[in-house]
């Protein structure tokens, strides 16, 4: 078996790989579009090849101008392969060695996926392969959407929202908001870096998104005391909630609702079609705030990642 990244000449055979297992995958339209705008690149698509046939394929995603792959987007093994777990694990290991890291695998599923034997089986073998290749941590995220049929929340009047051009101000607030966060990514990051570095990373990540920096808001009481942040943003698919957070000493007073309402109103007033947001199933206060604000769960994002 030969493990290698692909080249342009492999394209036809790459387009012939079909995943029919009720999970997200790099289907031909996606493959062509993403190769075109460089979210996919041949050097980040790996195959296991035998006698000129593709027996397994792994496709990583990254920002078009980014310098590294950020997420595994698709893992495929040809139905004729008997031990698909071992082959997929070997393929991932070869690519991880070359990358010097193991990017997380993001799988998108219907919200009832656990009741669907096809989707559950699709996840089970990929999970085992991922584990053998170092993707040992599992996180389930709820994908919420707000659509124009849902009500646009009125301001409660409890908070005053304003921009601030200084990134350092946002770094300081992000740092405070991260304390006691129930968000798995934030908690994991804080086990390997200090609060300042973690906040800087987050601000840099939100800066790199297609949403406008001028949309970012600080939330204060009418007396001027800081309560939190509200960052409407956008990704390549469209408007997203981005980020919101309440400083620890102000939690438990329903401010999450005010911040989310501000973001929803902001996008709604721009006339957007829909607003997407992800939150961990374990971030219960945040999930409840989405439920109250008329957002509905439309899918699940399962993230398999290495232990930091």
Ligand X SMILES: CC(C)(COP(=O)(O)OP(=O)(O)OC[C@H]1O[C@@H](n2cnc3c(N)ncnc32)[C@H](O)[C@@H]1OP(=O)(O)O)[C@@H](O)C(=O)NCCC(=O)NCCS
Q: Is 302 in the site for ligand X (CB under 6 A)?
A: no
Task: Identify whether the C-beta of residue 297 lies closer than 8 Å to the C-beta of residue 142.
Answer: yes
Buried b (16+ CB within 10 A) or exposed e, 244-254: bbbbeebbeee
Residue number with CB closer to ligand X (103 or 245): 245
Residue 286, SS3 per DSSP: helix
| Residue (121 or 179) nearer to ligand X, CB | 179
| 252 contributes a contact to ligand X by CB under 6 A | yes
Stretch that binds ligand X, among 118-126, 139-147, 206-214, 240-248 (CB under 6 A): 240-248
- Should residue 56 be labelled a site residue for ligand X when binding is judged by CB under 6 A? no
Return the number of the residue (36 or 249) whose C-beta is nearest ligand X: 249
If one asks whether residue 177 binds ligand X (CB under 6 A), the answer comes out as yes
The one among 130, 153, 239, 245 contacting ligand X by CB under 6 A: 245
Which residues 270-299 are close enough to bind ligand X by CB under 6 A?
279, 283, 285-286, 289
Which range touches ligand X (CB under 6 A), out of 28-36, 65-73, 150-158, 178-186? 178-186
Q: Which residue lies nearer to ligand X by CB, 90 or 258?
A: 258
């Amino acid at each position: 078996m030969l493990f290698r990244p692909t080249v342009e000449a492999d394209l036809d055979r790459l387009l012939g790989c079909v995943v029919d297992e009720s999970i997200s995958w790099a289907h031909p339209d996606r493959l062509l579009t993403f190769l075109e705008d460089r979210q996919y690149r041949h050097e980040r698509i790996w195959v296991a090849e035998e006698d000129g046939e593709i027996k397994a394929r792994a496709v990583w995603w990254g920002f078009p101008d980014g310098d590294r792959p950020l997420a595994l987007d698709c893992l495929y093994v040809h139905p004729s392969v008997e031990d698909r777990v071992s082959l997929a694990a070997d393929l991932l290991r070869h690519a991880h060695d070359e990358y010097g890291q193991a990017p997380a695998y993001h799988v998108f599923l219907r919200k009832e996926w656990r009741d669907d034997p096809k989707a559950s089986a699709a996840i089970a073998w990929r999970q085992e392969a991922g584990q053998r290749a170092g993707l040992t941590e599992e996180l389930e995220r709820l994908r919420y959407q707000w659509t124009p049929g849902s009500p646009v929340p009125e301001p409660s009047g409890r908070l005053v929202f304003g921009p601030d051009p200084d990134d350092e101000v946002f770094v300081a607030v992000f740092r405070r908001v991260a304390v006691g966060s129930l968000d798995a990514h934030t908690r994991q990051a804080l086990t390997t870096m200090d609060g300042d570095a973690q906040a800087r990373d987050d601000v840099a990540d939100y800066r790199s998104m297609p949403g406008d920096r001028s949309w970012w808001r600080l939330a204060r009481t009418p007396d001027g005391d800081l309560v939190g942040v509200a960052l409407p943003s956008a990704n390549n698919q469209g408007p997203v909630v981005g980020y919101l957070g309440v400083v620890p000493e102000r939690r438990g007073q329903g401010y999450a609702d005010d911040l989310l309402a501000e973001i929803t109103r902001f996008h709604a007033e721009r006339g957007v079609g829909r607003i997407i947001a992800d939150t961990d199933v374990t971030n219960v206060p945040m999930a409840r705030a989405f439920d109250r604000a008329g957002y509905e769960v439309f899918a699940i994002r399962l993230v398999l990642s290495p232990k930091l």
